[in-house]
A = this chain, B = another copy of it.
Amino acid sequence: MTLKPQLRRAIGVFDSGVGGLTVLQALRRRMPHRDFVYLGDTARVPYGRKPPEMVVEFAGGIARFLCEMGLDGLVVACNTASAVALPGLAESCPVPVWGVIDPGVETATRVTRSGSVGVIGTKATIASGAYQRRLEARGLRVWAQACPMLVHLVEEGLADSPEAELLARHYLSGHPEIDTLVLGCTHYPLLRNVLQRVAGKGVKLVDSAEVTAECVEATLGTPPACFVQGRVLHFVTGDPLAFAHTARVLGGVDGEIEPLPLRELARNPQANRRTAGISD
């Protein structure tokens, strides 16, 4: 067991893989003095094509593991998990929990003028109807499109490539007159250029990572004694080296990466499991 740096009043951020790093980066830009704990469940990525009950199970174990660290708050930086697991997590966690869906919905509602809004995401996110129900409840007309291949474009380092252009045109070709497009997946900000070009200049893109960070900051505010740069500890269930490598397409990892055995995320972990050195 390595000795962890003492993190103070950290915010937990989790995702199925590297995608949530875009949310972590947005949070750190707004709250540079905060400490963060990031958990990437890379041994079980991607969540987007797994059954909802499996994702609920994974998210429950991860939230329990992170909450036992005594965090200030928890960000579910994964649209799939936000779509299917958030209500349960909000009930079971002792700290505020944010998903990435509601902030995107609120922003889209605020910025649309025509009332016609689009949303794109993984198969699971779109199939869950989580965005569509919320947007429709606000009186908006919604066009939703699953884009299962876009995450892979980003992770392959092909965000700016002929493949990206082809697939973006394919997925967006059927869209009706919308004036706002919610990027319902944490990888999509990396495709912003191609999506903006294909959707057309008149369409406003809503980046969930950015607006989620806004919400978290608005609630938690700035911690006292905020003159030193915050630190980040990353846990990954898969290989740390592979995580760091894939993360390069998203701007890289700034902080320690620690392997986390999956058994630590089981529903009933052994009582004697190690704990990270986090104080409040």
Residues on A facing B (Cβ under 8 Å): 42-44, 49-51, 54, 123, 148-149, 152-153, 155-158, 162-163, 166-167, 170, 237-239, 241-242, 245-246, 259, 261-262
Beta-carbon nearest neighbor of A240 in chain B:
B262
Beta-carbon nearest neighbor of A245 in chain B:
B50
Chain B residues near A123 (CB, 8 Å)?
Answer: 156
A242: contacting residue among B50, B158, B162, CB under 8 A = B50
CB proximity of A163 to chain B, nearest CB, Å:
6
Chain B residues near A49 (CB, 8 Å)?
Answer: 155-157, 245-246
Question: Would you call B149 and A54 a contact (CB within 8 A)?
Answer: no
Beta-carbon nearest neighbor of A169 in chain B:
B166
Chain B residues near A239 (CB, 8 Å)?
Answer: 43-44, 262
Say whether, besides A239-B262, A241-B54, A166 and B158 are in contact (CB < 8 Å). no
What is the total number of copies of this protein in its complex? 2
Chain B residues near A166 (CB, 8 Å)?
Answer: 166-167, 170
User: What are 28 of the A-B contact pairs (CB < 8 Å)?
Assistant: A42-B43, A43-B43, A43-B239, A43-B242, A44-B238, A44-B239, A44-B242, A50-B245, A51-B245, A54-B242, A123-B156, A148-B156, A148-B158, A148-B163, A149-B149, A149-B153, A149-B156, A149-B158, A152-B152, A152-B156, A163-B167, A166-B167, A167-B167, A237-B238, A238-B238, A239-B262, A259-B262, A261-B261
Cα-based distance from A183 to B42 in the complex (angstroms) = 28
Cα-based distance from A242 to B54 in the complex (angstroms) = 9
Question: Would you call B170 and A162 a contact (CB within 8 A)?
Answer: yes
Cα-based distance from A167 to B163 in the complex (angstroms) = 7
Cα-based distance from A42 to B237 in the complex (angstroms) = 11
CB proximity of A190 to chain B, nearest CB, Å:
15
Say whether, besides A44-B239, A170-B163, A259-B262, A54 and B152 are in contact (CB < 8 Å). no
CB proximity of A10 to chain B, nearest CB, Å:
25
